[in-house]
Amino acid sequence: MSEVKKSASTGLRGTSAGATALCTVGKEGAGLTYRGYDVRDLAASTSFEEVAHLLLYGELPTRTQLDGYIKRLQGLRDLPAALKAVLEQIPADAHPMDVMRTGCSMLGNLETEADFSQQLDVVDRMLAVFPSIITYWYRYSHDGVRIDPVTDDVSVGGHFLHLLHGKPASQLHADVMNTSLILYAEHEFNASTFTARVCASTLSDMHSCITGAIGSLRGPLHGGANEAAMEMLERWSDPDEAEQAILGMLERKDKIMGFGHAIYRTSDPRNAVIKEWSRKLADEVGDTTLFPVSERVDEVMWREKKLFPNADFYHASAYHFMGIPTKLFTPIFVMSRLTGWAAHVMEQRENNRIIRPSADYTGPELRPVPPIAERG
């Protein structure tokens, strides 16, 4: 990748790029709501499947609707043979986000969204099959096993852990996954969602919108920060070592992954929730290193820079404690954010105008094209 240069541009910060009824971010500096519900309330009392229904179908489901929805998703978990064949071609050292991107794109070839009346069916299929895509590839490329991607687990998160570890998840782990998927589900006009909406605004198909969004989420300044945070935290064996290293990084003006936010100014409301689950998991595994190191980094960042952990930071330790390989962290984000992306694509389609901003030209003035012999 080319060297990253600091840009003088505003990155559209503070510019409204459209309307949405799905989500508010940063209201009162720190709030987050999905269709009017506080994300912390949703995380405390609902399942991810209820939140998916809320985002995609407009309301929290009744008990009967939820039972029907779960059954429907359970019935859509199998992978087409042609998709399995493609996944088997992808090498073990590929990045799992590239596998997600290819898996989604291939699904679009096999089960193309022929017209927008199919949009909800197409999205439900993706919701059910994304955990199957990533774990089928992972287990085949790493363990040489062709897994059966169908389980009768009730939850998307439990299903994912079951396929990954080859055994049903404990209640604690299924609960953590459930919370994590709720926290990551939706976040207004973040970079990957905006990517999906720009693609939707050309009247493109759902698989193209989601494939583009996956590519956008992959970067370490966005969803990739949970992996990058884990890689950083793993380097330190105690809090004092971590503190010295962080001070050095700040001195060198390095970015500390999992900290800061484009919209929130004082805290990310998702952080406190996932931090407590991470603490519980640390107790469960008897951790005496990773969680204390994470907390020290958190303290130092606030003391030195008034920067706070975003949703990604404690997700790193939480996922690690559940035995999830670091490279699979961002694909979990995909399994969840798919719901927000798709809800935005559908909202864009409802009231569409092609998204096409202007640019401030900074190139040369108009000039004649020189003949080739006169160039150089």
Ligand X SMILES: O=C([O-])CC(=O)C(=O)O
Q: How far is the CB of 35 from ligand X (least distance, A)?
A: 16
Closer residue to ligand X, CB minimum distance, 31 or 168: 31
Binders of ligand X among residues 184 to 203 (CB under 6 A) are 187, 190
Closer residue to ligand X, CB minimum distance, 172 or 262: 262
- Catalytic residue flag (residue 312): yes
In sequence order, the β-bridge partners of residue 38 are 33
Residues that bind ligand ACO (CB under 6 A): 221-223, 225, 255-262, 307, 310-312
Question: What sections of 9-118 are H helices per DSSP?
Answer: 39-45, 48-57, 63-74, 81-89, 96-110
Amino acid at 69: Y
Q: How far is the CB of 187 from ligand X (least distance, A)?
A: 3
Place of tokens 């409301």: 269
Which phi and psi angles does 23 have, rounded to 5°? -160, 145
Which pair of tokens denotes residue 195? 């990517």
Q: How far is the CB of 205 from ligand ACO (least distance, A)?
A: 25
Helix (H, G, I), strand (E, B) or coil at 325: coil
CB-neighbour burial class of residue 251 (10 A; exposed 0-12, middle 13-18, buried 19+): exposed
Amino acid at 171: Q
Please give the radius of gyration of the chain, using alpha carbons only, rounded to the nearest integer.
22
Binders of ligand X among residues 276 to 335 (CB under 6 A) are 310-311
Q: What is the separation, in whole angstroms, between the first and last Cα of the chain?
A: 28
Q: How far is the CB of 300 from ligand ACO (least distance, A)?
A: 11
- Catalytic residue flag (residue 261): yes
Closest chain position to ligand ACO (CB): 260
Does 218 interact with ligand X (rule: CB under 6 A)?
no
Q: Which does 221 bind (CB under 5 to 8 A by kind): ligand X, ligand ACO, none?
A: ligand ACO
Residues of the shown chain interacting with ligand X in the complex, contacts defined by CB under 6 A: 25, 187, 190, 262-263, 310-311
Q: Which are the catalytic amino acids?
A: 261, 312
